[in-house]
């Protein structure tokens, strides 16, 4: 069995999630061969997963400002002439502090720290920079990053020295019904009025980015990380799936093809999963190899729909409440994995369902 989860919404890192799944599984099936393969889609944990897979010689700390201007340390992973960086380390939701996202932070959070990371990456002499996008607290379209680099012209001049890759966790465009503000703004604390203001601000910023270059607003991935994707695309970046970048490094497709079953997971299995998240990418590899996939997630919502997933299990259902699941994530995830192993031993019977409301206790 391959165990290939993403991180669980800031409560469990991908490697910790994989360890918990294995621990629970072995309570029922101790003799199974388990290949732990933690994954990332470019969001939180991107560098940790790459480093654990043997990429580079360790990380380099870079002092930056977080999304609300407070000093923090982010990191670069240097691998010969390629440098990897994780935007969430400079503008991620956990950096908002104990209060979490609010209407005020949804409006004011910026990506200035990502610009500082980009400059530091260029200064290493890198020829290729891979930027992991996802998990941001921001919806500034990358304007903060651009300003930290001296503005559009200066940023373009600096970044033209390297091959730039935007490793995105989603394919959403910058604007509209599937755009950064509308889809992800509410998760970052924005109320409907603020979502509308963010949309307008992003539209105005898109005009600036596209002033002397090609259109980026409708490109896939432009809406990633609150529109940071749009800035990188305007700077000449090539978009790639973050999950695909990690897959290449970890040999995911080959390892899945050798398995009888894949267990993957994430914090919330929902409609957004299919738009470039780890679970969808893992399921695609498994489908190509005719290997069944089971999802274990913090929450499983009725709108989740990923081809190849034969069953999905909810930590919230198992624990009895969201608070209980978040309070003991590793223990609850291990309990869920034990239930999956028991059901596998019974032949994955008809009691399995994908909807949170239908999951059996």
CATH (domain of 259):
3.40.50.10350
Supply the DSSP symbol for 307.
T
Q: Are residues 237 and 263 in the same domain?
A: no
Residues 257 and 220 in one domain: no
pLDDT of residue 353: 39
Identify which has the larger pLDDT, 290 or 352: 290
Q: What phi, psi does 61 have (nearest 5°)?
A: -75, 140
Q: What is the pLDDT of residues 14-65, one digit of tens each?
A: 999 999 999 999 999 999 999 999 999 999 999 999 998 889 988 999 999 9
Query: What's the mean pLDDT in 223-248?
Result: 96
Full domain range(s) for residue 301: 2-38+252-358
Q: Quick one: 75 and 211 in the same domain?
A: yes
Residues 225 and 277 in one domain: no
**CATH number of domain containing 235:** 3.90.1510.10
Structure tokens at 78: 């240097």
DSSP 156-215: HHHHTTSEEEEEES----SSSTTSIIIIIGGGGT--HHHHHHHHHHHHHHHHHHTTTS--
Q: Are residues 132 and 256 located together in one domain of the fold?
A: no
Pinpoint the alpha helices (H) of 11-170.
14-28, 46-52, 88-91, 103-108, 112-123, 143-148, 152-159
Among the candidates 212, 243, 274, a domain finishes at 243
Query: Alpha helix (H) ranges present in 210-346?
Result: 224-234, 242-250, 252-257, 278-288, 315-319, 322-327, 329-345
My answer on whether 198 and 126 are in the same domain is yes
Q: Is there a single domain that holds both residue 232 and residue 274?
A: no
Percent of the chain whose pLDDT exceeds 90: 86
Same domain (yes/no): 60, 124: yes
How sure is the predictor about 191, in pLDDT bands with cuts at 50, 70 and 90? very high
- Of 200, 222, 243, which residue sits at a domain end? 243
The answer on pLDDT for 349 being more than 90 is no
Q: Are residues 274 and 186 in the same domain?
A: no
Query: pLDDT confidence of 348, banded at 50, 70, 90?
Result: low
**Looking at the structure, do residues 174 and 282 belong to the same domain, yes or no?**
no
Q: Total domain count for the chain?
A: 2
Residues 300 and 265 in one domain: yes
Specify the pLDDT at position 287: 95
Q: What is the pTM of this model?
A: 0.87
Question: At which residue do the structure tokens 């081809």 appear?
Answer: 307
Lateral strand order in the sheet of 82-86: 59-65, 71-79, 82-86, 128-132, 163-168, 238-241
Within this chain, do residues 183 and 235 fall inside the same structural domain, yes or no? yes
Instruction: Report the C-alpha gap between 361 and 131 in whole angstroms.
Output: 40
Q: Tell me, what DSSP letter sits at residue 237?
A: P
Convert 27-47 to b/e letters by CB count within 10 Å (16 or more is b).
Answer: ebeeeeebebbbbbbbbbbbb
Sign for the CA dihedral angle at 168, 174, 178, 180 comes to positive
Boundary-marking domain end, from 191, 211, 243: 243
Dihedral of CA 348/294/247/307: which sign?
Answer: positive
């Amino acid at each position: 069995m391959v165990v290939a989860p993403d991180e669980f919404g800031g409560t469990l890192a991908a490697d910790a999630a994989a360890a918990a799944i294995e621990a629970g599984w072995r309570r029922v099936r101790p003799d199974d061969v388990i290949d732990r393969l933690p994954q990332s889609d470019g969001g939180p944990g991107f560098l940790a997963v790459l480093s654990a897979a043997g990429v580079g010689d360790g990380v380099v700390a870079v002092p930056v400002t977080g999304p609300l201007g407070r000093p923090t340390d982010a990191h670069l992973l240097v691998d010969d002439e390629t440098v990897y960086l994780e935007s969430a380390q400079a503008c991620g939701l956990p950096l908002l502090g104990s209060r979490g996202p609010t209407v005020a932070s949804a409006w004011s959070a910026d990506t200035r720290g990502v610009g500082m990371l980009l400059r530091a990456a260029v200064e290493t002499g890198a020829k290729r920079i891979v930027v992991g996008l996802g998990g941001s607290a921001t919806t500034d379209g990358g304007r903060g990053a651009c300003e930290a680099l001296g503005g559009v012209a200066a940023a373009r001049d600096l970044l033209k020295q390297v091959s730039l890759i935007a490793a995105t966790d989603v394919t959403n465009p910058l604007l509209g019904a599937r755009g950064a503000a509308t889809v992800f703004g509410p998760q970052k604390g924005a109320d409907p009025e603020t979502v509308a203001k963010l949309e307008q601000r992003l539209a105005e910023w898109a005009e600036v980015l596209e002033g002397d270059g090609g259109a980026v607003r409708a490109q896939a991935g432009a809406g990633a990380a609150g529109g940071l994707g749009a800035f990188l695309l305007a700077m000449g970046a090539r978009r790639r799936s973050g999950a695909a970048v990690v897959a290449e490094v970890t040999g995911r497709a080959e390892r899945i093809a050798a398995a009888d079953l894949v267990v993957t997971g994430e914090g919330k299995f929902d409609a957004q999963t299919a738009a470039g998240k780890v679970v969808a990418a893992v399921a695609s590899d498994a489908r190509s190899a005719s290997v069944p996939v089971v999802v274990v997630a913090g929450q499983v919502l009725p709108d989740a729909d990923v081809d190849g997933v034969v069953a999905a299990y909810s930590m919230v259902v198992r624990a009895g409440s969201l608070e209980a699941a978040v309070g003991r994530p590793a223990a609850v995830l291990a309990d869920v994995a034990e239930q999956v192993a028991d059901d596998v031993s019974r032949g994955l019977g008809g009691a399995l369902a994908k909807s949170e409301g239908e999951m059996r206790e």
